[in-house]
Amino acid sequence: MNPIVGWGLAVVSVAAGWQVYGWRGVVMAVSVIVFWLLLQFSRALRAMKNAAAAPKGHVPSAVMLNAKLRPGMTMLQVISLTRSLGERVSEAPDVWAWADEGANRVTLEFKAAKLTRWQLTRPAAEPDPPSP
């Protein structure tokens, strides 16, 4: 959710709580806002805990990761999907990469904290040895 929209809804809920129930409505609105923030914090911590247990920049299948990616995903959504922290490729454009055992590699580019582009790179196939 866009932070401006989220905080706007929080202000509206506090105002509506005051208008309808007085100070008790404000207390209820603030309680709901704090609960929502705790849920978001818990979600982020769970994703980081799962990612910390896996090797850095490794996924079971880079091809499956490539199929599940969508434009506009956040880094937290990608980390939840991969269950691993990515390997930073560059900072100028924010580029991260994940690879699997078969040397397949997915490179992701983020702009304004949203996924904009990604590319699947596969190793070159080795030619079959000539038969005698």
Task: Determine the pLDDT at residue 131.
Answer: 67
- Does residue 69 contact residue 118 with C-beta atoms inside 8 Å? yes
Q: What is the mean pLDDT of the chain?
A: 90
Average pLDDT over residues 9-26: 93
Residue given tokens 């490729």 in the structure block = 89
d(CA 47, CA 42): 9
Task: Determine the pLDDT at residue 97.
Answer: 95
Task: Determine the pLDDT at residue 30.
Answer: 94
Average pLDDT over residues 89-106: 92
Please determine, for residue 96, whether its predicted confidence score (pLDDT) is greater than 70: yes
Cα-based distances in Å from 74 to 16, 51, 89, 113:
31, 15, 17, 6
Q: What is the dihedral of CA 14, 20, 26, 28, to 10 degrees?
A: -100
Task: Determine the pLDDT at residue 93.
Answer: 87
Positive or negative torsion for Cα 60, 96, 67, 118: negative
Please determine, for residue 108, whether its predicted confidence score (pLDDT) is greater than 70: yes
* Domains along the sequence of the chain with CATH: 3-51 (no CATH), 55-121 (3.30.1450.10)
